[in-house]
């Protein structure tokens, strides 16, 4: 590791491509990590420490420092002083026990330690949902624990017969191996993990390893059922010690021992207590906490309030949600094309492991608000969300789950997609349907709906033929009105829809493209330059060219393909000039223009591609094809 040391004057220090130890001096310094795994020390000044590409550790020192992790999984220690942490991803550990500290958070769903006094969310970032934050430790933000498992995402487990050498001496009292029946039941709980979170569980005989859950018995006294460590970079991380009391004898389902083992396993995976009572070590979990009836094993095995109904070898709903935030959902469960129908008599914690999936609210007797993006709080009914996520009619998608499709009720719904290519369908009410990022297909159905595409290439879908609708544009977007009462082909849709950030409209017989700053504009300009205005009226041709562009063909490659199709591999400059002039004006080109411009193509002064692009973008072409009018009405095309 290379060492870089500053002076007592204010300065800027930079890391190298290696692993660096960079120490600022007494001044107010700026320190940048390099490409390696670096140690950055701020020392006494008011310093700014910025991690690099590696896995860095930042120490603020005594001043009022600013710390920002880089691209890797970093540890940020503020030290003394009033420090500011810039939180831009979910991979950093933040530690600061002194001063009046602040986190400025520009990424959604980060776990901010309770020791940080002020938290400011910027750039649209939103806090981690309370039901997740109340169950995970302060150092367990986002993907950190999952990253620590490595690419294989593997936990090992072992039932040692002797106290491991690394273990604290306090665990030696009454230490012994689990009995065979206890081991059998413990394995049931351990292997169950693979069905809910994205980890592998492998048995080993060697406890002194990272990411290894060592499970044993010891005498813990009459008041203590068990104890466990959170995941750690040391071998003791995730180790579990169960009291050898009679109530824990088998750890089998239906006994208190099953609840006890799963509670300690939750700690071993990174879960904390959801209440403010002291634990076996007289320590109180950091806030926030669950309130009222949610602090019960019905909803989380991490609660001390339990009932025999939860004496089982699996986790409760809130535990699963928190564990999936930490590790992602299992990729072995729910991998088909699943349909999740919302329930009114219970909360809806929806999670999935793969496939093309659908949330279906079509049977709901009440309007619904549903978000496909994980971490948001939806609900059934007009009253808004309940006080708790565990109340009936609440809806949320667990972190890591990817749901593609969403079907609303026959009432006025609010349906929001995620970053995938979604299909979102409303019903009979006046719905608000929003696609978000991705190439979405949005169908309003009956009623007067608001359709918002967001980023990506988005379609509004209508089941009737084109002549069954009036289509108009205004400065805000597109207005679609069904013609049921004014002639035209009858449709099942009624009302007036408003479309925002929608690039395409799909009817039963034809499509309309409105992305004239994108592929639709490139398509009509190319067709107009080579075939004139008549080419734009060939909806099949427009569809063919759009398909090429939508599937990734660059604009210059489209023009080059058109050149080779019309003029061959070795295009003649004068011939190209005559062709484009006639296509754009309907007249023959004057010979002086043919000779001058055509000669430039022949001599290499202007390439054939540059000439084609000049023709396509020329105002004569735009006027000839009525580019402005097309942008208002849309250009018709057939899907090919």
Note the pLDDT tens digit of each residue in 521-556. 999 999 999 999 999 999 999 999 999 999 999 999
Identify whether residues 110 and 204 lie together within a single domain.
no
Identify whether residues 307 and 391 lie together within a single domain.
no
Residues 173-212 pLDDT 10s: 999 999 999 999 999 999 999 999 999 999 999 999 999 9
pLDDT at position 490, please? 44
Answer yes or no: is 514 within a domain: no
CA–CA distance, 334 with 315 (Å, rounded to integer)? 17
Answer yes or no: is 164 within a domain: yes
CA–CA distance, 501 with 459 (Å, rounded to integer)? 10
**What's the gap between Cα 327 and its chain centre?**
14
Identify whether residues 465 and 530 lie together within a single domain.
no
Answer yes or no: is 333 within a domain: no
Q: Which of 447, 477, 509 is the last residue before a domain boundary?
A: 509
Identify whether residues 501 and 352 lie together within a single domain.
yes
pLDDT at position 73, please? 87
Domain housing 247: 146-326
| Nearest residue to 321 via CA among 344, 347, 288 | 347
Beta bridge partners of 85: 67, 103
Answer yes or no: is 135 within a domain: no
Identify whether residues 313 and 383 lie together within a single domain.
no
Q: Which of 302, 326, 350 is the last residue before a domain boundary?
A: 326
Identify whether residues 543 and 437 lie together within a single domain.
no
Weakly modelled stretches of the chain, pLDDT under 50: 486-490
Identify whether residues 270 and 153 lie together within a single domain.
yes
| Nearest residue to 239 via CA among 299, 311, 165 | 165
Sheet containing 2-5, strands listed edge to edge, beginning at the edge strand earlier in sequence: 2-5, 20-23, 39-41, 57-59, 75-77, 93-95
| Cα separation values, 561 from 139, 169, 265, 609, Å | 55, 76, 62, 10
Answer yes or no: is 133 within a domain: no
Identify whether residues 478 and 366 lie together within a single domain.
yes
- Report the domain count for the chain: 4
**What's the gap between Cα 126 and its chain centre?**
13
Identify whether residues 528 and 496 lie together within a single domain.
no
Sign of the Cα torsion 384, 388, 390, 395 reads positive
CA–CA distance, 446 with 494 (Å, rounded to integer)? 5
| Nearest residue to 417 via CA among 359, 349, 365 | 359
Answer yes or no: is 334 within a domain: no
Identify whether residues 184 and 305 lie together within a single domain.
yes
List CB contacts of 556: < 8 A, sequence separation 6 or more. 609, 613
Whole-prediction pTM: 0.92
* Tokens (6 digits) for 462: 């209508």
Q: Where are the beta strands (DSSP E) in 310-422?
A: 339-341, 348-350, 358-360, 368-371, 378-380, 394-397, 405-407, 414-416
Q: Which of 274, 303, 326 is the last residue before a domain boundary?
A: 326
């Amino acid at each position: 590791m290379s060492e870089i040391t500053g002076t007592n004057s204010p300065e800027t220090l930079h890391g190298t491509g290696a692993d660096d130890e960079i120490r600022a001096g007494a001044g107010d310094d700026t320190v940048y990590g390099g490409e390696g795994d670096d140690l950055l020390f701020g020392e006494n000044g008011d310093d700014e420490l910025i991690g690099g590409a590696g896995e860095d550790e930042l120490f603020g020192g005594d001043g009022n420092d600013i710390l920002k992790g880089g691209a890797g999984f970093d540890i940020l220690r503020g030290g003394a002083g009033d420090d500011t942490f810039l939180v831009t991803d979910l991979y950093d550990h933040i530690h600061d026990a002194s001063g009046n500290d602040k986190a400025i958070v520009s990424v959604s769903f980060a776990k901010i330690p309770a020791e940080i006094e002020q938290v400011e969310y910027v750039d649209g970032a939103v806090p981690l949902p309370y039901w997740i934050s109340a169950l995970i430790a302060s150092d367990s933000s986002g993907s950190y624990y999952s990253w620590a498992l490595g690419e294989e995402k593997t936990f090992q487990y072992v039932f040692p017969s002797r106290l491991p050498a690394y273990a604290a001496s306090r665990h030696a009292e009454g230490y012994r191996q689990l009995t065979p029946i206890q081991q059998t039941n413990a394995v049931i709980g351990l292997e169950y993990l693979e069905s809910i979170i994205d980890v592998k569980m492998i048995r080993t005989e060697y406890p002194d390893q990272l990411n290894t859950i060592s499970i044993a018995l010891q005498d813990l006294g009459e008041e203590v059922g068990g104890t466990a460590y959170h995941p750690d970079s040391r071998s003791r991380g995730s180790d579990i010690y169960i009291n050898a009391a009679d109530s824990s004898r088998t750890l089998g389902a239906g006994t208190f021992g099953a609840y006890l083992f799963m509670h300690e396993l939750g700690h071993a995976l990174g879960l904390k207590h959801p209440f403010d009572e002291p634990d076996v070590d007289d320590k109180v979990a950091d806030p926030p906490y669950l309130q009222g009836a949610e602090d019960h094993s019905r909803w989380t095995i991490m609660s001390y309030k339990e009932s025999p109904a939860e004496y089982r070898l699996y986790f409760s709903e809130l535990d699963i949600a928190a564990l999936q935030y930490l590790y992602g959902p299992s990729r072995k469960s729910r991998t088909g094309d699943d349909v999740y129908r919302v329930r009114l008599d219970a909360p809806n914690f929806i999670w999935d492991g793969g496939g093309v999936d659908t949330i279906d609210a079509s049977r709901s007797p009440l309007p619904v608000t549903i978000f496909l993006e994980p971490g948001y709080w939806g609900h059934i009914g007009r009253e808004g969300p309940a006080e708790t996520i565990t109340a009936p009619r609440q809806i949320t998608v667990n972190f890591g789950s990817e749901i593609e499709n969403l079907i609303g009720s026959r009432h006025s719904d609010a349906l929001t997609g995620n970053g995938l290519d979604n299909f979102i369908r409303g019903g009979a009410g006046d719905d608000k349907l929003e696609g978000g990022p991705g190439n979405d297909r949005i169908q309003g159905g009956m009623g007067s709906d608001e359709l918002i595409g967001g980023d990506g290439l988005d379609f509004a879908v209508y089941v009737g033929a084109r002549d069954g609708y009036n289509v108009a544009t205004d400065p805000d977007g597109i207005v679609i009105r069904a013609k049921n009462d004014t002639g035209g082909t009858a449709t099942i849709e009624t009302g007036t829809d408003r479309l925002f950030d929608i690039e395409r409209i799909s009817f039963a017989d034809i499509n309309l493209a409105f992305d004239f700053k994108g592929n639709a504009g490139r398509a009509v300009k190319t067709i107009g330059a080579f075939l004139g205005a008549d080419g734009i009226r060939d909806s099949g041709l427009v569809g063919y060219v759009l398909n090429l562009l939508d599937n990734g063909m660059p604009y210059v490659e489209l023009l080059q393909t058109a050149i080779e199709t019309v003029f061959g591999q070795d295009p003649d400059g004068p011939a190209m000039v005559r062709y484009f002039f006639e296509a754009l004006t309907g007249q023959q080109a004057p010979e002086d223009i043919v000779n001058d411009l055509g000669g430039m193509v022949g001599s290499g002064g202007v390439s054939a591609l540059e000439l084609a692009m000049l023709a396509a973008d020329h105002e004569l072409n735009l006027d000839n094809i009525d580019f402005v009018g097309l942008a208002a009405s849309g250009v018709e095309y057939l899907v090919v």
